[in-house]
Chain A
Amino acid sequence: MDGWTGQILRVNLTNRTHRAETFTEEFATTWIGGRGFAVKILYDELAPGIDPLGPDNKLVVAVGPISGVPAPNTGKTIVAAKSPATGGYGDGNLGTRVTDQLRKAGYDALIVEGRAERPTMLVIQDDDVSFESAEEVWGKGTIATNEWIYSRFDKGAGVLNIGPAGEHMVNYAVIRSFEGRSGGRPGMGAVMGSKLLKAIVVKGTKPIPQAFPAKMKELGRDDLREVHQIDKEAAWSQQGTTGVLPWCNEVAALPVHNFRGTSHPDAWQVDGERVNAARVATYGCPNCTMRCGIAVLDDEGRESELDYEPVGLLGPNLDLYNLPEVASLNYLCDDYGLDTISAGAVLGFYADAIEHGATEGAPLFGDVAAFKKLLGMIAHREGEIGNLLANGVLRAARAFGHGSEDYAMHVKGLEISAYNCKFIPGMALAFGVSPIGAHHKESWIITYEVNQTPRESYGRDKAQKIVDLQRIRGGLFESIITCRFPWVEIGWGVEHYPVYFNTVTGKDWKLEDFWPISDRIYALIKLFWLREYPQTDRLADYPPAVWFDPANADTEGPIAGRILERDKYDSLLQHYYDIRGYDTRGVPTRATLESLGLHEEASAAEAYATIR
């Protein structure tokens, strides 16, 4: 089966057993890999209602047909499980050498089951699997843990690890790799921690199965060079993702003061120019020629790798405009293994709740020392407040009450990333219908919306654009799997990706052949959520109430007096459902499920909920 190894490695930490399982070509072409494999495995194997932090949850590490093949930018891996943050399907991608090493070891996916008795490092070396003690580094940060691992393995090994946040099962603990930052915002690191799994190390020596390896090598080499050249000419990686901050600030889309503000005159102090000027090192994922990991020194002289999301949420969102201070919060998140986006949203929410009297405490906004201390308390679930904030803004708001739910910035329990949509209807919808909770990776329509449409429009075109982007970003890229940045940031044509896919698989697929598969993946994710929340309704796809609150409107600037309008948002949401073939609850209809070949999956869901 060219393009796939045809094997999945299943590891049980409770019994310390493992076995390689084969899959069919039909499975491969129905789900492709990455997120497609992950959701199919989790849907089939997880009983609804299980504790996401119990031994019944499973962690899936999955790659795809072009993963690890030298081509732009194929170093990404999917990590997925039932999310402790949302209770629904959760996943994330991260750059890591695990991507190519897992394939070279002979697997397209790894399923981790059960719970170890003691802190464990899972080591996969081709057909050999061992369970080594990680007690020596249990409690250590991800940086020290990574160093400890690489003192035992050569630099070619692929490594995933967690920090104290994962060990203490913080709902937004991530999995870390040192070749591409972090992945798994919806608590994938907490799932690892719940299994006492400190790290995964993968080494492989086998060739990656490809239909035309020589052709792929030449094509990949040429395209990597071309991407590098385009990036060089466009100078995108000079600032990487941090370059977008001034645009967000200019068009009133920056999260400021727990998303209450949309721009700030001091934002330039933490923008891409300042990040680039402060650069001390540059990092990138495997198979990447447009490296965007810009490291600066924090206020304690430590290297901290920045991109836009952490700067936005740990900076302006907390009223912090000193780059080394922002970098220090980012460093702590990375070392603790906390998601920087959720951490920034949680700290901002807590500061806002104090300011609005929902809970007691000293004023926090702008107090970097207090925020540093809080991050440590959260990562270790220390004290009542550390423990509460470790659960994320949704649960913290439920505990605080006093209307704080309205400004807890999340959708479905996952905190909103760094785009303030108080008057950007389409992007608000993109957060609302993201299949893992509020995250920008699925459908980032904000520049399209602000520049090419009337911002105040709630037209069907915006819903269609979201679906189009979800198909490319959340479906195609997350299943084959590859980094979206060459396409989204420097305009590398999406038509290149079927060429890579066909060259490694020997197939003759067109771009449009991937869309039904993308739709199938999204529909199955919806069924996963439906089984967990049988009483779900369209309100689950709404953004926070504060974005509809006239009292929250900007008083000056380009969107002064403007907010989202609830009835219009609801009609925009309905457009999305109509295009997707979902019912008024946001659940795929029977006809939609059958058209996507999900007959058995629909029947499985009907044991728990109604399919219309």
Chain B
Amino acid sequence: MKVTVKLVGGLVHTVGFSQKELDVEPGTTVDDILASIAIDRARPMIIARNGHGAQPDEEVLEGDRILVSPIFSGG
């Protein structure tokens, strides 16, 4: 199934892309996706799934849009 991953802020530069469509197996979690795109998970991140806050262990579904951002704490 297809999901879209959108990166934000510094992650665009450290990971090397802004947005990408991934083909993943059913049962794939948000954390699996982060691992597959080689994000340094030691750094705190915030994740949104279809515009809602998401946790790493959530399973993704067909057509999901996963946004991954550094942990902004404010401007």
- Residues of A whose CB lies within 8 Å of any CB of B are 233-236, 238-239, 241, 243-244, 246-247, 250-252, 272-273, 307-309, 417-418, 440-441, 444, 446-448, 450-453, 455, 473, 484, 487-489, 491, 557-559
Contact with A along B30-69 (1 / 0, CB 8 A): 0000000000000110111011111000000000010101
Q: Chain B residues in contact with chain A, CB under 8 A?
A: 6, 8-14, 18, 43-44, 46-48, 50-54, 65, 67, 69-75
B6-A246 in contact (CB<8A): yes
State whether A251 and B52 are in contact (beta carbons under 8 Å apart), knowing that A235-B14, A239-B9, A246-B67 are contacts in the complex: yes
Q: Is the pair A557, B10 in contact by a Cβ cutoff of 8 Å?
A: no
Instruction: Enumerate chain A residues within 8 angstroms of B73, measured Cβ to Cβ.
Output: 444, 447-448, 487-489
- From A252, A447, A487, name the one whose CB has the most chain B CB atoms within 10 angstroms: A447
20 contacts between A and B (CB under 8 A): A235-B10, A238-B12, A243-B8, A243-B10, A243-B70, A243-B72, A246-B9, A247-B9, A250-B48, A272-B12, A417-B75, A447-B71, A447-B74, A450-B52, A452-B53, A455-B52, A488-B74, A489-B70, A489-B72, A559-B51
Please pick, from B8, B44, B51, B67, the residue contacting A557 in the complex, using a CB distance under 8 A.
B51
A251–B47 Cα distance when bound, in Å, is 10
Across-interface contacts of A440 in B (CB, < 8 A): 74-75
User: Could you tell me the distance between the alpha carbons of A492 and B39 in the complex, rounded to whole angstroms?
Assistant: 20
Once A236-B70, A489-B72 are accepted as A-B contacts, the answer to whether A243 and B48 lie under 8 Å apart by CB is no
Q: Which A residues touch B44, using CB under 8 A?
A: 491
Indicate if the CB atoms of A246 and B8 lie closer than 8 Å.
yes
**Contact among A273, A448, A488, A558 for B52, CB-based, below 8 A:** A558
Question: How far is it, in angstroms, between the C-alpha of A243 and the C-alpha of B69 when the chains are bound?
Answer: 9
Closest 4 CB pairs of A and B: A444-B74, A558-B51, A243-B9, A235-B10
Say yes or no: B72 contacts A247, CB within 8 Å: yes
Q: CA separation between A559 and B73, bound complex, in Å?
A: 22
Q: Find chain B residues with CB under 8 A from A451 CB.
A: 46-48, 53-54
Known contacts: A252-B51, A447-B46. The answer to whether A236 contacts B75 by CB under 8 A is no
Are A244 and B75 closer than 8 Å at their CB atoms? yes
Cα–Cα distance between A488 and B12 once the two chains are bound (Å): 19
How many Å lie between the Cα of A318 and that of B62 in the bound state? 35
Report the bound CA distance from A557 to B50 in whole Å: 8
What is the predominant secondary structure among interface residues of chain A facing chain B? helix
Whole-angstrom distance from the CB of B19 to the nearest CB of chain A? 9
Across-interface contacts of B70 in A (CB, < 8 A)? 234, 236, 243, 489
Q: Which residues of the partner chain B approach A243 to less than 8 Å between Cβ atoms?
A: 8-10, 69-70, 72
- A234 contacts which chain B residues (CB < 8 A)? 10, 14, 43, 70
Q: How near does chain B come to A609, taking the closest CB pair, in angstroms?
A: 33
Q: Contacts A243-B72, A250-B6, A309-B75; is A238 near B48 (CB within 8 Å)? A: no
Chain A residues whose CB sits within 8 angstroms of the CB of B69 once the complex forms: 243-244, 246-247, 447
Which residues of chain A come closer than 8 Å to B18, judged between CB atoms? 273
Contact indicator A241/B67 (Cβ below 8 Å): no
A557 to B69, CA, bound (A): 19
> Closest CB of chain B to A464's CB: distance in Å?
16
Instruction: Give the residues in chain B near A559, CB-CB below 8 Å.
Output: 51
Q: B52: which A residues are within 8 A, CB to CB?
A: 251, 450, 455, 558
CA distance A440 to B72 in the complex (A): 13
Chain A residues closer than 8 Å to B75, beta-carbon distance:
241, 244, 307-309, 417-418, 440, 444
Q: Could you tell me if A233 and B48 are in contact, using CB atoms closer than 8 angstroms?
A: no
A243 to B10, CA, bound (A): 7
Whole-angstrom distance between the alpha carbons of A244 and B69 in the complex?
8
Across the interface, name the chain B residue whose C-beta is closest to A250: B67
Q: Which residues of B contact A236 (CB under 8 A)?
A: 9-10, 70
A487 / chain B contacts, CB cutoff of 8 Å = 73
Shortest CB-to-CB span from A102 to chain B, Å, is: 26
A308-B53 Cα distance, complex, nearest whole Å:
21
CA distance A484 to B74 in the complex (A): 9
Given A272-B9, A452-B53, also A233-B74 (CB < 8 A): no
- CB neighbours (8 Å) of A246 from chain B are 6, 8-9, 67, 69
Contact A247 B46 (CB under 8 A): yes
Chain B contacts for A309, CB-based, 8 A: 75
Cβ of B72 and Cβ of A244 under 8 Å apart? yes
A156 to B24, CA, bound (A): 57
Q: How far is the CB of A315 from chain B (nearest CB, A)?
A: 15
Q: How far apart are B48's CB and chain A's nearest CB, in angstroms?
A: 5
Residues of A within 8 A of B11 (CB): 235
Docked-complex contact B74 and A450, CB < 8 angstroms: no
- The CA-CA distance from A440 to B51 in the complex, in Å, is 22
Closest to A242 in B: B9
A244–B14 CA distance with the chains assembled, in angstroms: 16
Name which of A453, A488, A557 has the most chain B CB atoms within 10 A of its CB.
A488
